[in-house]
Amino acid sequence: MKLTREDIWIIVRDTIAEVASSNGIDPEDVTRDSRASELGLSSVDTIHTMIMLEERLGDDIDLESLVMRDGEYVADLSLSDLHEHLCQRLATTA
């Protein structure tokens, strides 16, 4: 069974909320518009989060294509960007 876009969002939100909570961030503050920097995620936290997402989704995230656009590094992605990338990567259903 393929995951829906909403299934993927819930996994992204819950995973990031879990990591961000160690930085004192309220899980309710994790929204589609949130950015890693706003959630107090360090580069180590971000890598840990990506590993957790790969484990929970059962697929490689392809981090390079997520953080590179038109040959330029994207420093601070929104969770919406991450969600969209994962939906495309996993070819989700509605």
Tell me the per-residue pLDDT of 18-54, one tens digit each, with 9 for 90 and over: 999 888 889 899 999 998 888 888 888 888 888 999 9
Q: Which domain holds residue 41?
A: 5-20+34-90
Tell me the per-residue pLDDT of 79-93, one tens digit each, with 9 for 90 and over: 999 999 899 888 765
Query: Structure tokens of 93?
Result: 């259903």
Residue 24 C-beta-side C-alpha neighbours within 13 Å: 1
Q: Does 27 fall in a domain?
A: no
Taking phi first (over 0 means left), then psi (-120 to 50 degrees means alpha), and beta for anything else, what does residue 91 get? left
Q: Does 46 fall in a domain?
A: yes
Q: Does 45 fall in a domain?
A: yes
Q: Does 29 fall in a domain?
A: no
Tell me the per-residue pLDDT of 59-73, one tens digit each, with 9 for 90 and over: 888 878 888 878 888
Q: Does 73 fall in a domain?
A: yes
pTM of the model: 0.86
Q: How many domains does the chain have?
A: 1
> In whole angstroms, what is the distance from residue 36 CA to residue 46 CA?
8
Q: Does 74 fall in a domain?
A: yes
What is the Rg, in whole angstroms, of the alpha carbon atoms belonging to the chain?
A: 13
Q: Does 39 fall in a domain?
A: yes
Q: Does 26 fall in a domain?
A: no
